Amino acid sequence: MRQILRTAIVGLALVWIASVLTVTAQTQKPAAAAKPSVAAPVKNPVAPTAESVAAGTIVFGRFCKGCHGVAGAGDGNAVPEGYEPADFTDAKWDHGSTDVAIFKTIKNGVPPDLVMEGWDGRIRDIDIWHLINYIRTLGPKTAKR
């Protein structure tokens, strides 16, 4: 009888250990795979179509209008005191005039004090390109792409 009891206890212990190891293995995050090195684009890969501009309008409304204002004039109602957001309706591009420079500004923020925080990880890259296509519709058409 003792032998049966001992075997049952050892068996249950092994089942418990196996289940703990299985659950642990399933809940641990896999090691992050190395991201392939991708060269930054040298121009906007998204054509400024009506569909792209419409998608950019949605992104602007969700993430940007609080500070940059409904019309993009830098007059939003969520601007922290002492900050002056860029005005997209004028001819001056404060943080780069090319689409790639604007992309980097949106993605990484405005250094050195990050007066505008970076949106990397919160706005997908494709949506940043759509956003740039929309922003281009707000000001003079003389800006570089």
For the chain, which residues make up each domain, given as ranges? Answer: 1-28, 50-135
% of the chain beyond a pLDDT of 70: 69
* Three-class secondary structure assignment of the chain: CHHHHHHHHHHHHHHHHHHHHHHHHHHCCCCCCCCCCCCCCCCCCCCCCHHHHHHHHHHHHHHHHHHHCCCCCCCCCCCCCCCCCCCCCCCCCCCCCCHHHHHHHHHHECCCCCCCECCCCCCCHHHHHHHHHHHCCCCCCCCCC
Superfamily of the domain at 50-135: Cytochrome c-like domain (1.10.760.10)
pLDDT digits (tens, 9 = 90+) for 82-117: 888 999 999 888 888 899 999 999 999 988 777 889
Residues 119-141, mean pLDDT to the nearest whole number: 94
Residues 17-42, mean pLDDT to the nearest whole number: 47
- Nearest CA-CA partner of 54 in 127, 121, 140: 127
Q: What are the tokens at 61?
A: 């409304």
